[in-house]
Structure 1
Amino acid sequence: MHTMWKGTISFGLVNIPVKLHAATENKDVKLRQLHKECQTPIKYEKICPVCNKEVKNEDIVKGYEYTTNKFVVLTDEELAEIQEANADKSVQIVDFVQLEEIDPIYFEKSYYLSPNDGGGKAYTLLRQALADSNKIGVAKMMIRSKEQLAVIRVYENTLVVETIHYPDEVRNVADVPNIPEAIEIPKKELDTAKMLIDQLTVAFEPENYKDNYRTVLLDLIEEKKNQGEITSVQQQPSKQMPDNVTNLMDALEASLDRAKGTKPKPKKRKTTKPKQAEPKRSKKNA
Protein backbone atom coordinates (compact mmCIF):
# COMPACT_ATOMS: atom_id res chain seq x y z
CA MET A 1 0.00 0.00 0.00
CA HIS A 2 1.38 3.36 -1.07
CA THR A 3 2.76 5.58 1.71
CA MET A 4 1.40 9.12 1.38
CA TRP A 5 3.06 10.72 4.38
CA LYS A 6 5.50 9.93 7.18
CA GLY A 7 5.50 11.58 10.59
CA THR A 8 4.67 10.98 14.22
CA ILE A 9 1.66 10.77 16.50
CA SER A 10 2.18 12.47 19.82
CA PHE A 11 0.05 12.38 22.95
CA GLY A 12 1.61 13.52 26.18
CA LEU A 13 5.25 12.51 26.04
CA VAL A 14 4.62 9.52 23.79
CA ASN A 15 5.76 9.82 20.16
CA ILE A 16 4.87 7.15 17.61
CA PRO A 17 6.57 7.13 14.18
CA VAL A 18 3.86 6.33 11.65
CA LYS A 19 3.08 6.13 7.93
CA LEU A 20 -0.15 7.38 6.35
CA HIS A 21 -2.05 5.41 3.69
CA ALA A 22 -5.29 6.24 1.86
CA ALA A 23 -8.05 4.07 3.33
CA THR A 24 -10.56 4.60 0.52
CA GLU A 25 -10.49 4.92 -3.27
CA ASN A 26 -12.90 6.35 -5.79
CA LYS A 27 -14.38 3.61 -7.97
CA ASP A 28 -16.28 5.94 -10.30
CA VAL A 29 -16.00 4.99 -13.99
CA LYS A 30 -14.24 7.94 -15.60
CA LEU A 31 -15.43 8.79 -19.11
CA ARG A 32 -13.36 10.98 -21.44
CA GLN A 33 -14.90 13.58 -23.72
CA LEU A 34 -14.17 12.92 -27.41
CA HIS A 35 -14.67 15.01 -30.53
CA LYS A 36 -17.75 13.50 -32.19
CA GLU A 37 -16.32 13.99 -35.69
CA CYS A 38 -12.95 12.24 -35.28
CA GLN A 39 -13.21 10.53 -31.87
CA THR A 40 -10.15 12.35 -30.51
CA PRO A 41 -9.98 13.28 -26.79
CA ILE A 42 -10.76 16.94 -26.23
CA LYS A 43 -7.80 19.03 -25.14
CA TYR A 44 -8.27 21.60 -22.40
CA GLU A 45 -6.01 24.63 -22.48
CA LYS A 46 -5.49 27.47 -20.04
CA ILE A 47 -6.53 30.55 -22.00
CA CYS A 48 -6.41 34.14 -20.82
CA PRO A 49 -9.74 35.68 -21.95
CA VAL A 50 -8.25 39.18 -22.10
CA CYS A 51 -5.02 38.40 -23.97
CA ASN A 52 -6.79 35.63 -25.93
CA LYS A 53 -3.78 33.32 -25.79
CA GLU A 54 -2.69 30.14 -24.03
CA VAL A 55 -0.93 30.70 -20.71
CA LYS A 56 1.97 28.52 -19.60
CA ASN A 57 2.27 27.28 -16.02
CA GLU A 58 5.25 29.53 -15.32
CA ASP A 59 3.12 32.56 -16.24
CA ILE A 60 0.37 31.76 -13.72
CA VAL A 61 0.20 33.25 -10.22
CA LYS A 62 -2.24 32.57 -7.39
CA GLY A 63 -4.75 35.11 -6.17
CA TYR A 64 -7.57 35.34 -3.64
CA GLU A 65 -10.81 36.87 -4.97
CA TYR A 66 -12.04 38.89 -1.99
CA THR A 67 -14.85 40.45 -4.04
CA THR A 68 -15.99 40.09 -7.64
CA ASN A 69 -13.03 40.60 -10.01
CA LYS A 70 -10.78 41.97 -7.26
CA PHE A 71 -7.85 39.83 -6.17
CA VAL A 72 -5.01 39.76 -3.68
CA VAL A 73 -2.02 38.17 -5.44
CA LEU A 74 0.09 35.76 -3.38
CA THR A 75 3.57 34.78 -4.53
CA ASP A 76 4.96 31.25 -4.36
CA GLU A 77 7.57 32.49 -1.89
CA GLU A 78 4.92 33.88 0.46
CA LEU A 79 2.92 30.66 0.33
CA ALA A 80 6.04 28.53 0.82
CA GLU A 81 6.99 30.56 3.88
CA ILE A 82 3.59 29.93 5.47
CA GLN A 83 3.70 26.25 4.59
CA GLU A 84 7.21 25.86 5.97
CA ALA A 85 6.13 27.38 9.27
CA ASN A 86 3.40 24.72 9.52
CA ALA A 87 5.26 21.85 7.92
CA ASP A 88 5.84 19.87 11.11
CA LYS A 89 4.83 16.36 10.13
CA SER A 90 3.29 15.38 13.42
CA VAL A 91 -0.20 14.40 14.47
CA GLN A 92 -0.72 16.00 17.83
CA ILE A 93 -3.59 14.59 19.86
CA VAL A 94 -5.06 17.46 21.87
CA ASP A 95 -8.20 15.85 23.36
CA PHE A 96 -9.96 12.53 23.82
CA VAL A 97 -13.74 12.28 23.28
CA GLN A 98 -16.50 9.77 22.64
CA LEU A 99 -17.04 8.90 18.99
CA GLU A 100 -20.80 9.33 19.41
CA GLU A 101 -20.26 13.00 20.29
CA ILE A 102 -19.19 13.84 16.71
CA ASP A 103 -21.95 14.02 14.13
CA PRO A 104 -21.11 12.21 10.84
CA ILE A 105 -21.54 15.48 8.90
CA TYR A 106 -18.10 16.49 10.17
CA PHE A 107 -16.28 13.48 8.72
CA GLU A 108 -14.36 14.01 5.47
CA LYS A 109 -11.75 11.39 4.47
CA SER A 110 -10.20 8.28 6.02
CA TYR A 111 -6.55 7.23 6.20
CA TYR A 112 -4.88 4.15 7.63
CA LEU A 113 -1.96 4.57 10.01
CA SER A 114 0.82 2.00 10.19
CA PRO A 115 3.83 2.07 12.52
CA ASN A 116 7.13 3.23 11.05
CA ASP A 117 10.48 1.76 12.06
CA GLY A 118 10.66 1.31 15.83
CA GLY A 119 7.07 2.39 16.42
CA GLY A 120 5.38 -0.99 16.84
CA LYS A 121 5.20 -1.04 20.65
CA ALA A 122 3.97 2.55 21.04
CA TYR A 123 1.46 1.99 18.20
CA THR A 124 0.07 -1.06 20.00
CA LEU A 125 -0.09 0.91 23.26
CA LEU A 126 -2.23 3.68 21.75
CA ARG A 127 -4.44 1.20 19.89
CA GLN A 128 -5.15 -0.81 23.04
CA ALA A 129 -5.69 2.26 25.21
CA LEU A 130 -8.23 3.71 22.74
CA ALA A 131 -10.05 0.38 22.45
CA ASP A 132 -10.24 -0.19 26.22
CA SER A 133 -11.39 3.36 26.98
CA ASN A 134 -13.85 3.47 24.05
CA LYS A 135 -12.46 6.91 23.19
CA ILE A 136 -11.07 8.59 20.10
CA GLY A 137 -8.35 11.21 19.90
CA VAL A 138 -8.95 14.67 18.44
CA ALA A 139 -5.81 15.84 16.67
CA LYS A 140 -4.32 18.43 14.33
CA MET A 141 -2.09 17.58 11.38
CA MET A 142 -0.77 18.99 8.10
CA ILE A 143 -1.88 17.27 4.86
CA ARG A 144 -1.11 18.77 1.45
CA SER A 145 -0.23 22.18 2.88
CA LYS A 146 -3.47 22.42 4.83
CA GLU A 147 -3.89 22.18 8.58
CA GLN A 148 -6.50 19.50 9.15
CA LEU A 149 -8.62 18.72 12.14
CA ALA A 150 -8.77 14.96 12.58
CA VAL A 151 -9.73 12.13 14.88
CA ILE A 152 -7.77 8.96 15.56
CA ARG A 153 -9.73 5.80 16.27
CA VAL A 154 -9.42 2.03 16.04
CA TYR A 155 -10.83 0.23 13.00
CA GLU A 156 -10.55 -3.52 13.42
CA ASN A 157 -6.87 -3.83 14.46
CA THR A 158 -5.63 -0.65 12.76
CA LEU A 159 -5.41 2.97 13.79
CA VAL A 160 -7.36 5.23 11.44
CA VAL A 161 -7.13 8.98 10.93
CA GLU A 162 -10.42 10.59 9.94
CA THR A 163 -10.05 14.17 8.75
CA ILE A 164 -13.02 16.23 9.87
CA HIS A 165 -14.34 19.65 8.94
CA TYR A 166 -13.82 22.66 11.14
CA PRO A 167 -17.09 24.04 12.56
CA ASP A 168 -17.08 27.05 10.21
CA GLU A 169 -16.85 24.66 7.23
CA VAL A 170 -20.21 23.10 8.06
CA ARG A 171 -22.98 25.28 6.70
CA ASN A 172 -25.68 26.53 9.03
CA VAL A 173 -28.66 24.19 8.85
CA ALA A 174 -30.93 27.19 9.45
CA ASP A 175 -30.06 28.35 5.91
CA VAL A 176 -31.62 25.29 4.28
CA PRO A 177 -34.81 26.49 2.50
CA ASN A 178 -38.36 25.12 2.74
CA ILE A 179 -37.88 23.06 5.90
CA PRO A 180 -41.39 22.52 7.34
CA GLU A 181 -42.17 23.48 10.91
CA ALA A 182 -43.45 20.87 13.34
CA ILE A 183 -46.61 19.36 11.87
CA GLU A 184 -48.90 17.18 13.93
CA ILE A 185 -48.89 13.65 12.48
CA PRO A 186 -51.82 11.28 13.17
CA LYS A 187 -50.76 8.56 15.62
CA LYS A 188 -51.84 5.77 13.27
CA GLU A 189 -49.61 7.04 10.46
CA LEU A 190 -46.65 7.43 12.82
CA ASP A 191 -47.13 3.94 14.27
CA THR A 192 -47.31 2.47 10.76
CA ALA A 193 -44.10 4.25 9.76
CA LYS A 194 -42.31 2.95 12.85
CA MET A 195 -43.56 -0.57 12.13
CA LEU A 196 -42.17 -0.36 8.60
CA ILE A 197 -38.82 0.79 9.94
CA ASP A 198 -38.74 -2.14 12.38
CA GLN A 199 -39.47 -4.60 9.58
CA LEU A 200 -36.67 -3.23 7.42
CA THR A 201 -34.12 -3.01 10.23
CA VAL A 202 -31.10 -5.32 9.76
CA ALA A 203 -27.52 -5.56 10.92
CA PHE A 204 -25.30 -3.38 8.75
CA GLU A 205 -23.31 -5.56 6.36
CA PRO A 206 -21.37 -3.37 3.87
CA GLU A 207 -20.96 -6.30 1.45
CA ASN A 208 -24.71 -6.29 0.83
CA TYR A 209 -24.59 -2.94 -0.94
CA LYS A 210 -23.42 -2.73 -4.55
CA ASP A 211 -23.00 0.10 -7.04
CA ASN A 212 -25.51 -1.16 -9.62
CA TYR A 213 -24.93 1.73 -12.00
CA ARG A 214 -21.18 1.10 -12.13
CA THR A 215 -21.72 -2.64 -12.66
CA VAL A 216 -24.13 -2.12 -15.56
CA LEU A 217 -21.90 0.55 -17.11
CA LEU A 218 -18.80 -1.66 -16.98
CA ASP A 219 -20.78 -4.57 -18.47
CA LEU A 220 -21.90 -2.31 -21.34
CA ILE A 221 -18.33 -1.14 -21.95
CA GLU A 222 -17.06 -4.74 -22.01
CA GLU A 223 -19.84 -5.82 -24.38
CA LYS A 224 -19.12 -2.98 -26.83
CA LYS A 225 -15.40 -3.74 -26.65
CA ASN A 226 -15.96 -7.44 -27.42
CA GLN A 227 -18.19 -6.52 -30.38
CA GLY A 228 -15.49 -4.32 -31.85
CA GLU A 229 -17.29 -1.06 -31.17
CA ILE A 230 -14.08 0.75 -30.36
CA THR A 231 -12.16 3.73 -31.68
CA SER A 232 -8.49 4.64 -31.78
CA VAL A 233 -6.94 8.06 -31.32
CA GLN A 234 -5.88 9.50 -34.65
CA GLN A 235 -2.44 11.01 -35.08
CA GLN A 236 -2.67 14.62 -34.07
CA PRO A 237 -1.67 17.17 -36.75
CA SER A 238 1.35 19.31 -35.98
CA LYS A 239 0.72 22.77 -34.61
CA GLN A 240 0.49 25.62 -37.10
CA MET A 241 3.38 28.01 -37.33
CA PRO A 242 2.70 31.72 -36.98
CA ASP A 243 2.63 32.12 -40.82
CA ASN A 244 0.20 29.17 -41.19
CA VAL A 245 2.95 26.85 -42.46
CA THR A 246 2.17 23.31 -41.27
CA ASN A 247 5.30 21.27 -42.11
CA LEU A 248 8.93 21.56 -43.13
CA MET A 249 8.29 21.12 -46.86
CA ASP A 250 5.69 23.90 -46.82
CA ALA A 251 8.15 26.09 -44.94
CA LEU A 252 10.87 25.45 -47.55
CA GLU A 253 8.53 26.08 -50.47
CA ALA A 254 7.16 29.22 -48.88
CA SER A 255 10.69 30.48 -48.25
CA LEU A 256 11.62 29.72 -51.88
CA ASP A 257 8.58 31.59 -53.19
CA ARG A 258 9.45 34.58 -51.06
CA ALA A 259 13.03 34.48 -52.25
CA LYS A 260 11.89 34.39 -55.89
CA GLY A 261 9.63 37.34 -55.28
CA THR A 262 12.52 39.43 -53.95
CA LYS A 263 14.95 38.73 -56.84
CA PRO A 264 15.72 41.83 -58.97
CA LYS A 265 14.16 41.58 -62.44
CA PRO A 266 17.25 42.82 -64.38
CA LYS A 267 19.08 39.58 -63.53
CA LYS A 268 16.43 37.56 -65.36
CA ARG A 269 16.87 39.61 -68.56
CA LYS A 270 20.63 39.08 -68.62
CA THR A 271 20.28 35.28 -68.74
CA THR A 272 17.65 35.09 -71.52
CA LYS A 273 17.83 38.08 -73.95
CA PRO A 274 21.44 37.94 -75.10
CA LYS A 275 20.91 34.43 -76.58
CA GLN A 276 17.91 35.66 -78.60
CA ALA A 277 19.70 38.78 -79.83
CA GLU A 278 22.87 37.10 -81.26
CA PRO A 279 21.12 35.19 -84.09
CA LYS A 280 19.47 38.41 -85.29
CA ARG A 281 22.83 40.14 -85.66
CA SER A 282 24.31 37.23 -87.59
CA LYS A 283 21.54 37.35 -90.21
CA LYS A 284 22.12 41.07 -90.89
CA ASN A 285 25.83 40.53 -91.29
CA ALA A 286 25.23 37.76 -93.81
Structure 2
Amino acid sequence: MRSIWNGQVEFGLVSIPVRLYAATENNSVRFRQVHAQDGGQIRYQRVCSEDGEEVPYSEIAKGYQTEGGELVVITPDELAAAEPQSSRSAQVVEFVPLESIDPVYYDKTYYLEPRKSAVRPYLLLRDVLHKSDRVAIVRITLRNREAMAVLRAASDVIMLSTMHWADEVRTPAFPFLQEEHPQVRSEEMSMAMTLVDHMADDVFDPTEYHDRYRDAVAELVEGKLVGGRTQASGGTRRRSRSGKGSGEDEDVSDLLRALSASVDDDSGSRSTSGTKNTKNTKKSDTRKKPPAAKKSATTSSGRKAAAKKTANSKPRTKKGA
Protein backbone atom coordinates (compact mmCIF):
# COMPACT_ATOMS: atom_id res chain seq x y z
CA MET A 1 0.00 0.00 0.00
CA ARG A 2 1.53 3.28 -1.13
CA SER A 3 1.18 6.49 0.86
CA ILE A 4 -0.48 9.40 -0.93
CA TRP A 5 0.81 12.18 1.33
CA ASN A 6 3.81 12.69 3.59
CA GLY A 7 3.70 15.54 6.06
CA GLN A 8 2.98 16.38 9.66
CA VAL A 9 0.02 16.99 11.92
CA GLU A 10 0.43 20.20 13.91
CA PHE A 11 -1.25 19.80 17.28
CA GLY A 12 -0.59 23.12 19.03
CA LEU A 13 3.17 23.28 19.26
CA VAL A 14 3.52 19.55 18.68
CA SER A 15 4.41 18.34 15.19
CA ILE A 16 3.74 14.70 14.33
CA PRO A 17 5.35 13.47 11.07
CA VAL A 18 2.95 11.04 9.39
CA ARG A 19 2.13 9.23 6.17
CA LEU A 20 -1.38 9.14 4.71
CA TYR A 21 -2.90 5.95 3.26
CA ALA A 22 -6.29 5.43 1.63
CA ALA A 23 -8.57 3.54 4.01
CA THR A 24 -11.00 2.34 1.34
CA GLU A 25 -10.94 1.08 -2.24
CA ASN A 26 -13.49 0.96 -5.04
CA ASN A 27 -14.23 -2.63 -6.04
CA SER A 28 -17.04 -1.81 -8.45
CA VAL A 29 -17.14 -3.76 -11.69
CA ARG A 30 -15.35 -1.91 -14.48
CA PHE A 31 -15.85 -2.63 -18.16
CA ARG A 32 -14.06 -1.54 -21.32
CA GLN A 33 -15.96 -0.41 -24.35
CA VAL A 34 -15.22 -2.89 -27.14
CA HIS A 35 -16.46 -3.76 -30.62
CA ALA A 36 -19.04 -6.53 -30.09
CA GLN A 37 -18.04 -8.36 -33.28
CA ASP A 38 -14.31 -8.75 -32.72
CA GLY A 39 -13.60 -7.49 -29.17
CA GLY A 40 -11.48 -4.57 -30.39
CA GLN A 41 -11.14 -1.78 -27.82
CA ILE A 42 -12.91 1.49 -28.64
CA ARG A 43 -10.61 4.50 -28.47
CA TYR A 44 -11.45 8.18 -28.43
CA GLN A 45 -9.70 11.08 -30.12
CA ARG A 46 -9.43 14.66 -28.90
CA VAL A 47 -11.08 16.52 -31.77
CA CYS A 48 -11.77 20.27 -31.91
CA SER A 49 -15.44 21.02 -32.57
CA GLU A 50 -14.50 24.13 -34.57
CA ASP A 51 -12.13 22.72 -37.23
CA GLY A 52 -12.57 18.96 -36.77
CA GLU A 53 -8.82 18.45 -36.26
CA GLU A 54 -7.28 16.22 -33.58
CA VAL A 55 -5.67 18.32 -30.84
CA PRO A 56 -2.41 17.29 -29.08
CA TYR A 57 -2.21 17.50 -25.29
CA SER A 58 0.27 20.41 -25.53
CA GLU A 59 -2.45 22.59 -27.08
CA ILE A 60 -5.23 21.71 -24.65
CA ALA A 61 -6.28 24.30 -22.07
CA LYS A 62 -9.14 24.41 -19.57
CA GLY A 63 -12.26 26.42 -20.29
CA TYR A 64 -14.69 27.85 -17.75
CA GLN A 65 -18.16 28.57 -19.10
CA THR A 66 -20.20 31.24 -17.34
CA GLU A 67 -23.94 31.06 -16.75
CA GLY A 68 -24.33 33.57 -19.56
CA GLY A 69 -22.64 31.22 -22.03
CA GLU A 70 -19.28 33.01 -22.23
CA LEU A 71 -16.18 30.83 -22.31
CA VAL A 72 -13.05 31.83 -20.38
CA VAL A 73 -9.91 29.96 -21.46
CA ILE A 74 -7.36 29.32 -18.69
CA THR A 75 -3.88 28.02 -19.44
CA PRO A 76 -2.11 25.40 -17.29
CA ASP A 77 0.35 28.05 -16.04
CA GLU A 78 -2.45 30.39 -14.97
CA LEU A 79 -4.21 27.55 -13.20
CA ALA A 80 -1.01 26.50 -11.41
CA ALA A 81 -0.56 30.06 -10.12
CA ALA A 82 -4.05 29.96 -8.59
CA GLU A 83 -3.42 26.74 -6.68
CA PRO A 84 -2.70 26.99 -2.93
CA GLN A 85 0.91 26.86 -1.85
CA SER A 86 2.04 23.31 -1.32
CA SER A 87 1.92 22.56 2.39
CA ARG A 88 3.11 19.48 4.20
CA SER A 89 1.20 20.16 7.38
CA ALA A 90 -2.30 19.43 8.62
CA GLN A 91 -3.07 22.18 11.11
CA VAL A 92 -5.54 21.36 13.90
CA VAL A 93 -7.87 24.34 14.23
CA GLU A 94 -10.47 23.10 16.75
CA PHE A 95 -11.91 20.11 18.58
CA VAL A 96 -15.63 19.32 18.33
CA PRO A 97 -17.96 16.46 19.34
CA LEU A 98 -18.22 13.82 16.62
CA GLU A 99 -22.01 13.85 16.77
CA SER A 100 -22.04 17.55 15.87
CA ILE A 101 -20.88 16.71 12.32
CA ASP A 102 -23.56 15.61 9.87
CA PRO A 103 -22.29 12.55 7.91
CA VAL A 104 -23.30 14.29 4.66
CA TYR A 105 -20.10 16.34 4.97
CA TYR A 106 -17.77 13.32 4.85
CA ASP A 107 -15.93 12.54 1.62
CA LYS A 108 -12.92 10.15 1.67
CA THR A 109 -11.21 8.43 4.57
CA TYR A 110 -7.50 7.75 5.16
CA TYR A 111 -5.24 6.14 7.76
CA LEU A 112 -2.43 8.12 9.39
CA GLU A 113 0.80 6.23 10.10
CA PRO A 114 3.41 7.86 12.35
CA ARG A 115 7.07 8.05 11.49
CA LYS A 116 9.28 6.04 13.85
CA SER A 117 10.44 9.22 15.57
CA ALA A 118 6.87 10.37 16.20
CA VAL A 119 5.16 7.34 17.75
CA ARG A 120 4.86 8.91 21.21
CA PRO A 121 3.16 12.19 20.16
CA TYR A 122 1.02 10.19 17.72
CA LEU A 123 -0.23 7.96 20.55
CA LEU A 124 -0.75 11.03 22.71
CA LEU A 125 -3.03 12.65 20.12
CA ARG A 126 -4.85 9.36 19.55
CA ASP A 127 -5.50 8.89 23.26
CA VAL A 128 -6.51 12.53 23.71
CA LEU A 129 -9.13 12.10 20.98
CA HIS A 130 -10.37 8.94 22.70
CA LYS A 131 -10.49 10.45 26.19
CA SER A 132 -12.00 13.79 25.20
CA ASP A 133 -14.62 12.07 23.04
CA ARG A 134 -13.99 14.71 20.39
CA VAL A 135 -12.57 14.92 16.89
CA ALA A 136 -10.07 17.42 15.50
CA ILE A 137 -10.91 19.70 12.57
CA VAL A 138 -7.86 20.31 10.36
CA ARG A 139 -6.92 22.07 7.15
CA ILE A 140 -4.82 20.05 4.72
CA THR A 141 -3.64 20.38 1.10
CA LEU A 142 -4.05 17.20 -0.93
CA ARG A 143 -3.29 16.98 -4.66
CA ASN A 144 -2.95 20.76 -4.89
CA ARG A 145 -6.39 21.30 -3.37
CA GLU A 146 -7.06 22.66 0.10
CA ALA A 147 -9.46 20.51 2.08
CA MET A 148 -11.20 20.55 5.43
CA ALA A 149 -10.83 17.26 7.29
CA VAL A 150 -11.57 15.44 10.54
CA LEU A 151 -9.07 13.52 12.66
CA ARG A 152 -10.61 10.79 14.81
CA ALA A 153 -9.32 7.84 16.78
CA ALA A 154 -10.49 4.45 15.55
CA SER A 155 -9.10 0.90 15.50
CA ASP A 156 -6.02 1.98 17.51
CA VAL A 157 -4.97 4.45 14.83
CA ILE A 158 -5.82 8.01 13.81
CA MET A 159 -8.04 8.34 10.77
CA LEU A 160 -8.46 11.40 8.58
CA SER A 161 -11.70 12.01 6.68
CA THR A 162 -11.82 14.81 4.14
CA MET A 163 -15.01 16.84 4.11
CA HIS A 164 -17.17 18.78 1.70
CA TRP A 165 -17.23 22.55 2.10
CA ALA A 166 -20.48 24.02 3.41
CA ASP A 167 -21.46 25.47 0.01
CA GLU A 168 -21.09 22.00 -1.57
CA VAL A 169 -23.89 20.51 0.51
CA ARG A 170 -27.24 21.13 -1.12
CA THR A 171 -30.31 22.28 0.78
CA PRO A 172 -33.42 20.17 0.12
CA ALA A 173 -36.17 22.20 -1.52
CA PHE A 174 -38.86 19.65 -2.20
CA PRO A 175 -42.41 20.97 -2.79
CA PHE A 176 -43.91 18.81 -0.04
CA LEU A 177 -41.84 20.70 2.55
CA GLN A 178 -43.89 23.81 1.80
CA GLU A 179 -47.23 22.02 2.01
CA GLU A 180 -49.43 21.16 4.96
CA HIS A 181 -48.53 17.66 6.14
CA PRO A 182 -50.89 14.92 7.33
CA GLN A 183 -50.49 14.07 11.00
CA VAL A 184 -48.90 10.74 11.93
CA ARG A 185 -51.27 8.84 14.20
CA SER A 186 -50.05 7.57 17.56
CA GLU A 187 -51.03 3.99 16.63
CA GLU A 188 -48.88 4.18 13.52
CA MET A 189 -45.92 5.52 15.47
CA SER A 190 -46.31 2.82 18.13
CA MET A 191 -46.47 0.05 15.54
CA ALA A 192 -43.51 1.48 13.63
CA MET A 193 -41.43 1.54 16.83
CA THR A 194 -42.41 -2.08 17.48
CA LEU A 195 -41.17 -2.99 14.02
CA VAL A 196 -37.89 -1.20 14.71
CA ASP A 197 -37.48 -3.16 17.95
CA HIS A 198 -38.04 -6.45 16.12
CA MET A 199 -35.46 -5.59 13.44
CA ALA A 200 -32.91 -4.00 15.79
CA ASP A 201 -29.35 -5.23 16.34
CA ASP A 202 -26.80 -4.07 18.89
CA VAL A 203 -24.04 -3.47 16.33
CA PHE A 204 -23.67 -3.06 12.58
CA ASP A 205 -21.63 -5.83 10.93
CA PRO A 206 -20.63 -4.70 7.40
CA THR A 207 -19.31 -8.20 6.54
CA GLU A 208 -22.91 -9.42 6.38
CA TYR A 209 -23.46 -7.35 3.25
CA HIS A 210 -21.85 -7.81 -0.15
CA ASP A 211 -22.14 -6.54 -3.70
CA ARG A 212 -24.47 -9.09 -5.31
CA TYR A 213 -24.12 -7.46 -8.73
CA ARG A 214 -20.32 -7.77 -8.62
CA ASP A 215 -20.58 -11.44 -7.61
CA ALA A 216 -23.07 -12.13 -10.39
CA VAL A 217 -20.81 -10.52 -12.99
CA ALA A 218 -17.80 -12.53 -11.76
CA GLU A 219 -19.86 -15.71 -12.02
CA LEU A 220 -20.99 -14.73 -15.51
CA VAL A 221 -17.42 -14.07 -16.66
CA GLU A 222 -16.22 -17.33 -15.12
CA GLY A 223 -18.93 -19.25 -16.94
CA LYS A 224 -17.94 -17.72 -20.26
CA LEU A 225 -14.27 -18.50 -19.67
CA VAL A 226 -14.99 -22.13 -18.73
CA GLY A 227 -17.25 -22.54 -21.76
CA GLY A 228 -14.69 -20.96 -24.07
CA ARG A 229 -17.07 -18.13 -24.99
CA THR A 230 -14.79 -15.13 -24.98
CA GLN A 231 -16.78 -13.17 -27.56
CA ALA A 232 -20.09 -11.44 -26.92
CA SER A 233 -23.15 -13.54 -27.79
CA GLY A 234 -25.95 -12.25 -29.98
CA GLY A 235 -28.58 -11.80 -27.29
CA THR A 236 -28.52 -9.95 -24.02
CA ARG A 237 -30.51 -11.35 -21.15
CA ARG A 238 -32.35 -8.76 -19.14
CA ARG A 239 -32.36 -8.76 -15.39
CA SER A 240 -35.54 -9.91 -13.73
CA ARG A 241 -37.79 -7.12 -12.58
CA SER A 242 -39.72 -9.23 -10.08
CA GLY A 243 -41.28 -7.19 -7.36
CA LYS A 244 -41.35 -3.99 -9.42
CA GLY A 245 -44.02 -2.65 -11.68
CA SER A 246 -47.55 -1.48 -11.13
CA GLY A 247 -47.49 -2.46 -7.47
CA GLU A 248 -44.58 -0.11 -6.90
CA ASP A 249 -46.76 2.88 -7.77
CA GLU A 250 -49.75 1.82 -5.73
CA ASP A 251 -50.64 4.00 -2.77
CA VAL A 252 -50.71 2.17 0.56
CA SER A 253 -53.98 3.40 2.03
CA ASP A 254 -53.60 1.96 5.51
CA LEU A 255 -50.10 2.55 6.91
CA LEU A 256 -51.00 0.99 10.25
CA ARG A 257 -52.06 -2.26 8.60
CA ALA A 258 -48.81 -2.45 6.61
CA LEU A 259 -46.71 -1.87 9.72
CA SER A 260 -48.68 -4.45 11.67
CA ALA A 261 -48.17 -7.02 8.91
CA SER A 262 -44.45 -6.29 8.92
CA VAL A 263 -44.22 -6.87 12.66
CA ASP A 264 -46.22 -10.11 12.39
CA ASP A 265 -44.02 -11.36 9.54
CA ASP A 266 -40.86 -10.50 11.45
CA SER A 267 -42.17 -12.08 14.67
CA GLY A 268 -43.07 -15.29 12.85
CA SER A 269 -39.63 -15.58 11.34
CA ARG A 270 -37.95 -15.03 14.70
CA SER A 271 -40.17 -17.51 16.52
CA THR A 272 -38.96 -20.31 14.25
CA SER A 273 -35.34 -19.40 14.94
CA GLY A 274 -35.79 -19.61 18.72
CA THR A 275 -33.70 -16.53 19.63
CA LYS A 276 -34.55 -12.85 19.66
CA ASN A 277 -31.22 -11.65 18.29
CA THR A 278 -31.04 -14.10 15.39
CA LYS A 279 -31.53 -12.42 11.99
CA ASN A 280 -34.96 -13.20 10.58
CA THR A 281 -35.24 -15.34 7.49
CA LYS A 282 -36.46 -12.54 5.26
CA LYS A 283 -33.58 -10.29 6.27
CA SER A 284 -31.08 -13.09 5.68
CA ASP A 285 -32.41 -13.73 2.20
CA THR A 286 -31.73 -10.15 1.15
CA ARG A 287 -28.22 -9.96 2.57
CA LYS A 288 -26.67 -13.42 2.30
CA LYS A 289 -25.17 -14.83 -0.87
CA PRO A 290 -27.34 -17.43 -2.63
CA PRO A 291 -25.98 -21.00 -2.39
CA ALA A 292 -25.42 -21.17 -6.15
CA ALA A 293 -23.30 -18.05 -6.08
CA LYS A 294 -21.22 -19.44 -3.20
CA LYS A 295 -20.56 -22.67 -5.05
CA SER A 296 -19.50 -20.88 -8.21
CA ALA A 297 -17.28 -18.47 -6.34
CA THR A 298 -15.28 -21.31 -4.79
CA THR A 299 -15.05 -23.68 -7.74
CA SER A 300 -11.48 -23.43 -8.97
CA SER A 301 -8.87 -20.95 -7.77
CA GLY A 302 -7.45 -20.67 -11.29
CA ARG A 303 -10.78 -19.94 -12.93
CA LYS A 304 -11.75 -17.53 -10.14
CA ALA A 305 -8.56 -15.54 -10.60
CA ALA A 306 -9.13 -15.37 -14.36
CA ALA A 307 -12.70 -14.21 -13.85
CA LYS A 308 -11.58 -11.49 -11.42
CA LYS A 309 -8.91 -10.26 -13.82
CA THR A 310 -11.30 -10.11 -16.76
CA ALA A 311 -14.08 -8.31 -14.87
CA ASN A 312 -11.61 -5.91 -13.23
CA SER A 313 -13.36 -6.53 -9.93
CA LYS A 314 -12.54 -8.08 -6.60
CA PRO A 315 -15.56 -10.17 -5.59
CA ARG A 316 -15.26 -11.43 -2.09
CA THR A 317 -17.16 -14.08 -0.23
CA LYS A 318 -17.52 -14.30 3.49
CA LYS A 319 -14.96 -16.42 5.26
CA GLY A 320 -16.06 -19.98 5.55
CA ALA A 321 -18.52 -19.70 2.64
Shift of 1:188: 1.8
2:105 equivalent in structure 1: 106
- Amino acid across the alignment from 2:196: I
2:132 equivalent in structure 1: 133
**Structure 1 runs not aligned, ≥5 long:** 233-286
Q: After the TM superposition, list the runs of 4 or more consecutive aligned residues in structure 1 that deviate by more than 6 angstroms.
A: none
1:193 equivalent in structure 2: 192
Alignment of 1:6-155 (within 5 A): 6-83=6-83, 85-155=84-154
Larger RCO (alpha carbons 8 Å, 6+ apart): 2
Identity %: 37
3-state SS in 1 of match to 2:45: coil
Distance 1:29 1:161, change over 3 A: same
Q: Does structure 1 conserve the Cα–Cα contact (< 8 Å) formed by 2:36 and 2:231?
A: no
Within the candidate set 174, 177, 183, 1:176 is matched to: 174
Q: Using the alignment, how far apart are the partners of 2:175 and 2:19 within structure 1? A: 43
Give the alignment's TM-score, normalised by structure 1.
Answer: 0.76
3-state SS in 1 of match to 2:117: coil
- Amino acid across the alignment from 1:2: R
- Amino acid across the alignment from 1:110: T
Shift of 1:194: 1.3
Shift of 1:117: 4.1
More strand by share: 1
**Structure 2 runs not aligned, ≥5 long:** 233-321
3-state SS in 1 of match to 2:66: strand
Give the alignment's TM-score, normalised by structure 2.
Answer: 0.68
Shift of 1:177: 4.5
Q: Does structure 1 conserve the Cα–Cα contact (< 8 Å) formed by 2:37 and 2:231?
A: no
- Amino acid across the alignment from 2:160: V
Q: Does structure 1 conserve the Cα–Cα contact (< 8 Å) formed by 2:9 and 2:89?
A: yes
- Amino acid across the alignment from 2:111: Y
Shift of 1:182: 3.1
3-state SS in 1 of match to 2:121: helix
- Which segment drifts farther, 129-138 or 68-77? 68-77
Shift of 1:38: 2.3
**Which structure has the bigger radius of gyration?**
1
Q: Does structure 1 conserve the Cα–Cα contact (< 8 Å) formed by 2:38 and 2:231?
A: no
Shift of 1:77: 1.9
